[in-house]
């Protein structure tokens, strides 16, 4: 039996729920034969989920964070969204956090571990795309999940 090509979850805005989702995503990757992608996907996923938790949901447990991870032939698509006000992502594209700063590394992490990064206009949804090593070059899903 083939593992599912998609993992879609809504979680409460709590650190424990973020941890559980990350563990479930890791298990999904390993089961699907993509265990080598565990670290970079964990970096992208945890950064996105923590941003939603802290900024989009203000750490209010009753608020929800939606996550969709989809495997194409050539790409992994990761979408994380919340109902928060969003942020001006265009102002952050060229920012670099200093070595002693505790915040401001999200876009840098995305640029390091994702092949494509897209935010919606409001800034409360991020769609990340990461190439699957050795993936089929005839992928019919070239755009991030929406």
Q: Provide the strand spans (E) within the chain.
A: 6-12, 64-71, 75-82, 116-119, 125-131
Q: Phi first, then psi: give them for residue 122, nearest 5 degrees.
A: -70, -30
User: Greater confidence, 63 or 136?
Assistant: 63
Domain of residue 90 covers: 6-131
> Is residue 126 domain-resident?
yes
> Is residue 90 domain-resident?
yes
Instruction: Specify the range with the lowest mean pLDDT, choosing from 39-48, 62-71, 129-138.
Output: 129-138
The token pair that represents 42 in the structure block: 């964990």
Nearest-angstrom CA–CA distance, 114 and 40: 8
Tally of domains within the chain: 1
Q: Which of 5, 4, 37, 17 is nearest to 82 (CA)?
A: 17
Q: Which of 64, 57, 55, 49 is nearest to 92 (CA)?
A: 55
> Is residue 12 domain-resident?
yes
Q: Sheet with 116-119: list strands edge to edge.
A: 6-12, 64-71, 75-82, 125-131, 116-119
> Is residue 136 domain-resident?
no
> Is residue 84 domain-resident?
yes
Confirm if 117 and 43 have CB atoms less than 8 A apart.
no
Task: Give the model confidence (pLDDT) of 31-58 as tens digits.
Answer: 999 999 999 999 999 999 999 999 999 9
Q: For the whole model, what pTM was predicted?
A: 0.84
> Is residue 89 domain-resident?
yes
Nearest-angstrom CA–CA distance, 31 and 49: 22
> Is residue 139 domain-resident?
no
What CATH number is given to the structural domain containing 86? 3.30.565.10
**Quick one: pLDDT at residue 47?**
94
> Is residue 140 domain-resident?
no
């Amino acid at each position: 039996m083939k593992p599912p090509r998609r993992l879609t979850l809504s979680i409460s805005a709590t650190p424990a729920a973020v941890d559980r989702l990350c563990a479930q995503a890791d298990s999904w990757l390993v089961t699907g034969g993509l265990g080598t992608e565990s670290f970079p996907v964990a970096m992208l996923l945890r950064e996105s989920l923590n941003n939603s938790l802290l900024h989009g949901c203000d750490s209010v447990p009753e608020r929800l964070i939606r996550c969709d991870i989809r495997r194409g032939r050539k790409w992994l698509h990761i979408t994380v969204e919340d109902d928060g006000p969003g942020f001006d992502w265009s102002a952050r594209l060229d920012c670099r956090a200093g070595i002693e700063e505790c915040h401001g590394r999200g876009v840098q992490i995305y640029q390091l571990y994702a092949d494509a990064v897209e935010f919606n206009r409001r800034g409360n949804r991020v769609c990340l795309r990461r190439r699957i090593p050795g993936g089929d070059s005839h992928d019919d899903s070239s755009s991030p999940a929406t």
